[in-house]
Amino acid sequence: MDLARLCAALLTAGLIVVPSSAASAASAPEPSSTRDFGNGPERNEVAALAEPPISLLSASATTRWKPSRQGYPRQHRLPLPPVNAEDRSIKLGLIPYHGIAPKLNALQAASKRVSAEVVGHSALGRDLYLATVTAPETAAEAARQDRWRELIEDDPRAAARDKRLAREYKTPVWINGNIHGDEWEGTDGALRVIERLATATDPATAAFLRRTRLYVTVTNNPDGRIAGTRANGAGFDINRDHATSSQPESRAVRDVLLATQPLVMLDEHGYTGTTLIEPATPPHGQNYEYDLYIKHALPNALGMEAAVQRLGHAETRSVDIPFRDYAPGDWDDWPPIFTPMYAMYHGAIGHTVEIPLRVNRGDYTSLPVAELQRRSAINTEVVDATISATLSYADTNRASLLAGQIEQFRRGWAGAPSPVIPDGFVPGFGPEDRYATTFPRAYVVPAGTPAAARLVDLLVDHDVRVKRALRGFTLNGKRYAAGTYLIDMHQPKRGLANVMLEAGRDISDLVPQMYDISGWSHRLLWGAPVDISRFAAPRVASVPVSAATGTGTVTAARGQDLALTLSDGSDVRAVNALLDRNIKLTRTGAATVVVPASARRQAEEVADLYGVRFETARRAPAGAPFTKPALAAAVAADELFVLRDLGFDVQPVSTALLNGGAPLAGVDTLIVSSGLSYTQLNATGKATVDAFLAAGGGVVTRGATGAAFNTAAALLPATAVTGRGDANGVVAVDNPGPVVGAGSLPNSFVYSPLWFTGTGFTVEQRYAATDPLVAGHWQPTSPGVAGPDQAAGQASVVSGTTAAGSRAVLFGTEPLFRAHPKGLYAQFARALFWTSA
């Protein structure tokens, strides 16, 4: 059946609805011509958290979801959350979070086509729901589908030859709704489609569901849905977290993606004035099999565009497809942090869909309720139309989509180079769209450190194949011990492995601007030693890794004092855990903590817990005793999350809180990076800060807000020079300083980079003297001004003592950015311990 005939059949069956829209169109305002890329705060616009989120779940507080091994339906009676009259969805005429479980329970009761289950929990502990819609299957039929899905990934050559698989494999389509909490209608439009499929009685729908499985994560962000915030309950933008997996919501949908292996997926967002449907502009991720993607992404987008336009509203006449309509860099798909871009590495044709009519932020409070509800109704129709059109496209093109996913995994196993895509491969494809990389033959990760274990566990969790060598071996002239981790790049998801482990690329000269971050290398920023083998694979007996081997150890002889070097965030967690147990610790220098021999048992416990290594303390003059620092922090949500994850006790502060009388009594160090301006303090707030500084309180700052605080409070005589606000990426650095510099990585991360000039302070870290930008996008603000050439050799982090005798450290880098650069955490912690002494 061709696309037009299938659309007609689905329309007849009620799978696509074209509403009467004359009245609403007559009264509708003209759609906005202003594009709002992302419609939300980016990293340096995130407000400081005045209070910590409550009931925050740690990574270890949730269990990983795996699908059951039974037929369909797999129905579970979902527990009902408490009714919340303050849910921000209600005002818009949309379903509140507490209404979703009853709705899904009712659909399960009414239809054997619907299965619902809890697949994880939000940062504040709320259930995340997965709804599956398909024709009933026996356990044997479902098991056969599972075997075929595994065959597609594990043996794509065999899958390509399997004629029964080609005939009977059900087309998996995944819809992710409401990942940004104040972009609501993805949930409501998806529920409308689920209900229609569940209750339709026509033969076309029944036949369609015998060929298809529709998976819907109904709301990916219940915390934000209820509160009307873009971020989750921990203050994170989940749609920036997929390469890092710091948040439970991103981990949950990752697990759904791995278990379902969709051929097509949609991530439903809002609001851009006109409907926006990806594919995106260049730069395109250089690790994609982009030919396999764009051959379907563009025609599917065109089908969604037609479906949206058929709705007949004035506000749905215009649809933007960035690949077709935008300039390079306006809406790119370069980083693997977004849900659709991440899904592409798992074989999906991924689309971000931005519905048109704004109902959040200022509009939510300023517009009449009737107008908000009118807009939300149209937005819901747009979601419905894009999902329905995608289901139609996936059903019509299932053979080609399936062949493309099989081919992606075949190329990975074979180590085949990505083909050169010719101009005109699809309408509009040209030289500006051509991005590719050269895959190495293997990566090698020496074992034995918490950073190596952390990186390996992340790779395995993301379905990257990792093996462990059973004996020592030599590769490229270097000897490796037994237990070394091997990432053979002849594997199905080599693109995902490479996008995490390669350095990346300086794309500053290729596009004028970028939508979000441009560099993120796990190899360079996560602290693990990783070697690249360009052409040779290790020849050694090995076994697959399901979890990294534990790294915790105490090597000191009994009766000897123990030493722990603060080189990783795990070391910081261990120190704070010992301080919480009232162990008397001392420091020798900024990077070494000494544990008395009498606390060996406690040291062994935290070594096992955090994977750290305690060695024999060197004979040296007695170190300075220290206690756990009390911190006050005016920081963004991601920084607060990391500080607490490292085990620090943190009191959030801000200009408003200090002006309102919040005290700093008992605080050792004040951290300033967001939400605190010294010049905007009133008499009360200024007196509090001045008294804290006069008493010798330490200060650690980050970014432009921190640099401005340093200048206004006259802390260190350092003048901050600012790079372009959107400049970001991985940089090369030198580390001459005794505090932050001690033992730090040769790479760091910047976003809106700073550097410091002047005298009267210690340079802890400098940008490399030549070519400091390793990967990312950093253009000068004007020719020869504030670019990487001007930053080269300049101080990126400085420390010193103020006139009042307090200690201060100023960061021009981003060591805690979105909980990502985990290898940089220890340098920030050393600054906190040093300034608190």
Total domains in the fold of the chain:
4
Comparing CA positions, the residue from 315, 390, 399, 381 lying closest to residue 351 is 390
Tens digits of residue pLDDT in 73-95: 999 999 999 999 999 999 999 99
Q: Is residue 799 one of the residues assigned to a domain?
A: yes
Instruction: Kindly state whether residues 687 and 731 are assigned to the same domain.
Output: yes
pLDDT band at 620 (very low <50, low <70, confident <90, very high): low
**One-character DSSP codes across 314-346:** GGGS-EE-HHHHS-TTSSEE-STTSHHHHHHTT
pLDDT over 60 (residue 54): no
pLDDT computed for residue 621 by the predictor: 67
When pLDDT is averaged across residues 312-335 and rounded to a whole number, the result is: 98
In 70-184, where does DSSP find H-type helix? 97-110, 139-154, 156-161, 163-168
Whole-angstrom Cα distance, residue 184 to residue 798? 44
Domain assignment of residue 636, given as a range: 630-836
Q: How much is the pTM?
A: 0.92
Instruction: Kindly state whether residues 172 and 92 are assigned to the same domain.
Output: yes
| Percentage, residues of the chain above pLDDT 70 | 92
pLDDT computed for residue 625 by the predictor: 84
pLDDT computed for residue 13 by the predictor: 38
Residue type, 331: W
Whole-angstrom Cα distance, residue 814 to residue 751? 7
- Lowest model confidence (mean pLDDT) among 4-18, 109-123, 144-158, 547-561: 4-18
Instruction: Kindly state whether residues 383 and 359 are assigned to the same domain.
Output: yes
Instruction: Kindly state whether residues 659 and 701 are assigned to the same domain.
Output: yes
Instruction: Kindly state whether residues 350 and 223 are assigned to the same domain.
Output: yes
Q: Is residue 699 one of the residues assigned to a domain?
A: yes
CB atoms within 10 A of CB 679: 11
Q: Is residue 59 one of the residues assigned to a domain?
A: no
pLDDT computed for residue 63 by the predictor: 65
Q: Is residue 61 one of the residues assigned to a domain?
A: no
Q: Is residue 381 one of the residues assigned to a domain?
A: yes
When pLDDT is averaged across residues 439-460 and rounded to a whole number, the result is: 98
Contact between 753 and 813 under an 8 Å Cβ cutoff? The reply is yes
Domain stops at, among 544, 567, 593: 544
pLDDT computed for residue 626 by the predictor: 87
Tens digits of residue pLDDT in 176-224: 999 999 999 999 999 999 999 999 999 999 999 999 999 999 999 999 9
pLDDT computed for residue 29 by the predictor: 30
CA angle, residues 339, 345, 348, in degrees to nearest 5: 70
Tell me which residue has tokens 């074992």.
Answer: 447
When pLDDT is averaged across residues 502-527 and rounded to a whole number, the result is: 97
CB atoms within 10 A of CB 265: 27
pLDDT over 80 (residue 39): no
pLDDT computed for residue 540 by the predictor: 98
3-state secondary structure labels for all residues of 28-49: CCCCCCCCCCCCCCCHHHCCEC
Domain stops at, among 626, 660, 675: 626
Tens digits of residue pLDDT in 151-175: 999 999 999 999 999 999 999 999 9
Q: Is residue 504 one of the residues assigned to a domain?
A: yes
pLDDT computed for residue 623 by the predictor: 73
Instruction: Kindly state whether residues 609 and 634 are assigned to the same domain.
Output: no
pLDDT computed for residue 14 by the predictor: 38
pLDDT over 60 (residue 50): no
When pLDDT is averaged across residues 216-236 and rounded to a whole number, the result is: 98
pLDDT computed for residue 48 by the predictor: 40
pLDDT band at 624 (very low <50, low <70, confident <90, very high): confident
Q: Is residue 101 one of the residues assigned to a domain?
A: yes
Q: Among all residues, which ones are annotated catalytic?
A: 354
DSSP 668: S
From residue 390, alpha-carbon distances to 91, 407, 450 in Å are 30, 21, 43
Instruction: Kindly state whether residues 638 and 580 are assigned to the same domain.
Output: no
Q: Is residue 335 one of the residues assigned to a domain?
A: yes
In 111-228, where does DSSP find H-type helix? 139-154, 156-161, 163-168, 185-199, 203-211, 222-227
- The CATH number covering residue 589 comes to 3.30.70
When pLDDT is averaged across residues 424-438 and rounded to a whole number, the result is: 97
When the pLDDT of each residue in the chain is averaged and rounded to a whole number, the result is: 92
Instruction: Kindly state whether residues 584 and 525 are assigned to the same domain.
Output: no
Whole-angstrom Cα distance, residue 282 to residue 337? 16
When pLDDT is averaged across residues 389-401 and rounded to a whole number, the result is: 98
pLDDT computed for residue 516 by the predictor: 96
When pLDDT is averaged across residues 794-809 and rounded to a whole number, the result is: 97
Domain stops at, among 595, 626, 657: 626
Instruction: Kindly state whether residues 640 and 600 are assigned to the same domain.
Output: no
Instruction: Kindly state whether residues 133 and 254 are assigned to the same domain.
Output: yes
Beta strand 669-672 with 698-702: parallel, antiparallel or unpaired? Answer: parallel
Instruction: Kindly state whether residues 620 and 635 are assigned to the same domain.
Output: no
Instruction: Kindly state whether residues 347 and 447 are assigned to the same domain.
Output: no
- The CATH number covering residue 826 comes to 3.40.50.880
- The CATH number covering residue 118 comes to 3.40.630.10
